[in-house]
Amino acid sequence: MAAQDPLFPESAVIHGVTVRRAALTGTEQADLLGEIQDIARVSRPFSLMTGWGKPMSVKMTAAGRFCWFSDRRGYRYIEAHPETNAAFPPIPALALAVWSQFETRVPPDCCLINYYGEGARMGLHQDRDEADFGYPVVSISLGDPALFRIGGIERKDPTRSFWLESGDAMVLQGDNRLAFHGIDRIKFGGSGLLPKGGRLNLTLRRVAEA
């Protein structure tokens, strides 16, 4: 059973992860979606490849100074779109407002925007390419429900899963900042927010030293 987080009365701690259900209202979700669509027109989503040459099922773009990137050379952050070489657009204000509910010391300098279409998933991984793990990774879900899986700081650690709904915000910080996590699947068509179905996940983080 989910326990209440005393810092955020609307939040629940699920398997050690703080989740703020309905952090964005329906109107705010629609507004944020509109901003993401504007970003995608300027900074077109692109496909990634793992370090061992396997195509990833999720498409990505970004807002802010940095975007995470993966190819046969490995994992890293880039400061320009890999196809156009243009800088990424600013992070939407609504996304910044969600970040500030969890972190007030520094602003994020990266907002990854992942699109999960039908059948897309994200394997277990750690977010460990940032300069300072003392800052959190904040996730915002929009669109179809997603089954989120989290384990420990070792890949072999046991994992547990729970569903994230449209408008939910989640934070990895403290003991679980480096926990392995991923998305097992989405309920494609489970939300009417995205006109053609699917899920958008925004992850905000601080990449450079503050």
pLDDT in tens, 92-105: 999 999 999 999 99
Q: Is 196 among the domain residues?
A: yes
Sorted by sequence, the CB contacts under 8 Å of residue 135 that are 6+ apart come out as 103, 105, 106, 173, 205, 206, 210
Assign residue 184 the CATH number of its domain. Answer: 2.60.120.590
For the stretch 122-135, pLDDT in tens is 999 999 999 999 99
Q: Is 3 among the domain residues?
A: no
Q: Going by DSSP bridges, is the β-strand pair 17-20/122-125 parallel, antiparallel, or unpaired?
A: unpaired
Higher pLDDT, 9 or 121: 121
- Is the model's pLDDT at 44 over the cut of 70? yes
Closest CA to 172 of 22, 65, 21, 13: 13
Structure tokens given for 167 = 């408008």
Q: Is 48 among the domain residues?
A: no
Q: Is 8 among the domain residues?
A: no
Q: How many domains does the chain have?
A: 1
Q: How far is CA 129 from the centre of its chain?
A: 15
For the stretch 5-16, pLDDT in tens is 434 446 788 888
Question: For residue 118, which phi and psi values (nearest 5 degrees)?
Answer: -60, 125
Q: Is 4 among the domain residues?
A: no
Q: Is 51 among the domain residues?
A: no
Higher pLDDT, 112 or 56: 112
pTM of the predicted structure, to 2 decimals: 0.92
- Structural contact between residues 23 and 168, judged by C-beta atoms closer than 8 angstroms: yes
Q: Is 151 among the domain residues?
A: no
